[in-house]
Amino acid sequence: MDNFVNSLGIILFATLVYATPLLYAAMGSCFSEVSGVVNIGIEGMMTAGAFAGTVIAYFTGNPWIGFICGGLAGAFFGMLHAVATVNLGADQTIAGTAINMLGPGVVIMIARVLFNSTDTVPLTASQKIPKLFPGMFDTSTVFGRFMDNVFATYASTYIVFAVVILVWFVFYKTRFGLRLRACGEHPKACETLGINVIAMRFWCVVISGFLSGLGGACVTMTISTQFRPISIVGQGFIAIAAVIFGKFKPQGALIGCLLFGFCSGLKVVLGGSSGIDMQLISMIPYVVTVIVLVLFVGKSSVPAASGKPYIKSK
């Protein structure tokens, strides 16, 4: 029984830790997709955020400055995507693919200049995003260890759940959210009502990049403690899959990210004790992603104008 409770606590802790960067990226994807701009460049934006967050935290010694700078790095690549797709009318899928190649290429080049390596220097404990409520629970008991695993997690996890609530509120309880959703459904009708569709979509894509950058920073500032070229591989696409699973709604994306986070948590537990080949265990999140896309991609309520460049009437 004690082993079961310990394993359950570890799985829940890993679920929260691995779901956190996915949630940031998924909320960002919701902003872009709902406004009518397809953004498959989430992966590249997360990679930029992961590198910038780690490097700034390393040189400043302040994890929160690094965390915000990770978001700003993602926002920069989001702005590039917005200029290409919103202002210039480029194909959104091709532009997103370019961001996914450009982001890792740029940060690896900078890493070689700064560290003479594609990897950054590992962060110390004081440079990582801190955990909340450390030492609050008595870890000498099974129940205390379980509570410590679940609640004494990284501050970024608590923040992201607040972000999910905020995004839901903005989408469905504010005038901005109403206009945002309308731009993704009927942009020409929005224009007749005086809504600046170009500006709305532009800033939604920039917000998408900022949140994705925060997600990337979470990976290297909580889980791995340093940036490597493989730090983000696949996570941007998993976040997009979670958004599709959640029918482009923040509350649905939350469930999808927790599902994928659980798969990663299961991978951690099974990898340490099951005796199953680690390569097979590592496939779990990606296999689940493919299954989710096969089962749900046709049932998702894609915004009517999603992926269609908007040309302002003269």
| Domain CATH code at residue 280 | 1.10.3470
Over the stretch 101-118, which tens digit does the pLDDT of each residue have? 999 999 999 999 999 999
Residue 277 lies in a domain: yes
The answer to whether residue 202 is domain-embedded is yes
Amino acid at 182: A
* 225-257: b (≥16 Cβ within 10 Å) or e: bbbbeebbeebbbbbbbbbbbbebbbebbbebb
Cα dihedral 262/268/273/276 (nearest 10): 90
User: What's the confidence (pLDDT) of residue 298?
Assistant: 61
At residue 154, does pLDDT exceed 80? yes
Report the range of poorest mean pLDDT among 48-57, 137-146, 196-205, 268-277. Answer: 268-277
- Structure confidence at residue 250 (pLDDT): 94
Q: Is residue 314 part of a domain?
A: no
What range defines the domain where residue 244 resides? 2-296
* Residue 201 CB-density burial (10 A; 0-12 exposed, 13-18 middle, 19+ buried): buried
- The β-bridge partners of 131 are 154
Taking residues 259-286, report their average pLDDT: 74
Q: Are 293 and 174 in contact (CB under 8 A)?
A: no
Is 266 within a domain? yes
- Residue 214: the pLDDT is 97
Indicate left, alpha or beta for 135 from its phi (over 0: left) and psi (-120 to 50: alpha). left
Could you tell me what percent of the chain has a pLDDT over 70? 92
Rounded distance, CA 177 to CA 174, Å?
Answer: 5
The answer to whether residue 92 is domain-embedded is yes
Most confident by average pLDDT, 137-151, 156-170, 280-294: 156-170
28-86 tens-digit pLDDT: 999 999 999 999 999 999 999 999 999 999 999 999 999 999 999 999 999 999 999 99
Write phi, then psi, for 23 (nearest 5 degrees).
Answer: -65, -45
pLDDT range class, residue 147, cuts 50, 70, 90 = confident
* Residue 306 within any structural domain of the chain: no
299 pLDDT above the threshold of 60: no
Backbone angles phi, psi at 130, to 5 degrees: -75, 160
Lowest mean pLDDT among 28-32, 171-175, 210-214, 297-301: 297-301
Is the pTM higher than 0.75? The answer reads yes
Going from the C-alpha of 120 to that of each of 23, 63, 186, 191, the distances in angstroms are 25, 15, 45, 47
**AA identity, residue 226:** Q
Q: What is the pLDDT of residue 272?
A: 58
pLDDT at residue 2 greater than cutoff 70: no
Q: What letter does residue 122 receive in the DSSP assignment?
A: P
- Name the range with the highest mean pLDDT among 8-12, 156-160, 191-195: 156-160
pLDDT at 172: 95
Identity of the highest mean pLDDT range in 183-197, 199-213, 229-243, 247-261: 199-213
Q: What's the CA gap between 132 and 307, in Å, rounded?
A: 40
Predicted pLDDT of residue 74: 97
Whether pLDDT at 284 is above 90: no
Partners of residue 154 on adjacent β-strands: 131
Question: What pLDDT, on a 0 to 100 scale, did the predictor assign at position 240?
Answer: 92
Q: Is residue 26 part of a domain?
A: yes
CA angle 114/117/121 to nearest 5° reads 70
Mean pLDDT of 231-254: 90
DSSP H or E stretch at residue 269: helix 250-273
Distance, in Å, from the CA atom of 102 to the CA atom of 142, rounded to the nearest integer, reads 47
pLDDT over 80 (residue 1):
no
Do the Cβ atoms of 242 and 256 come closer than 8 Å?
A: yes
pLDDT, residue 44, reads 95
Structural domain total, the chain: 1
Predicted pLDDT of residue 148: 73
Residue 7 lies in a domain: yes
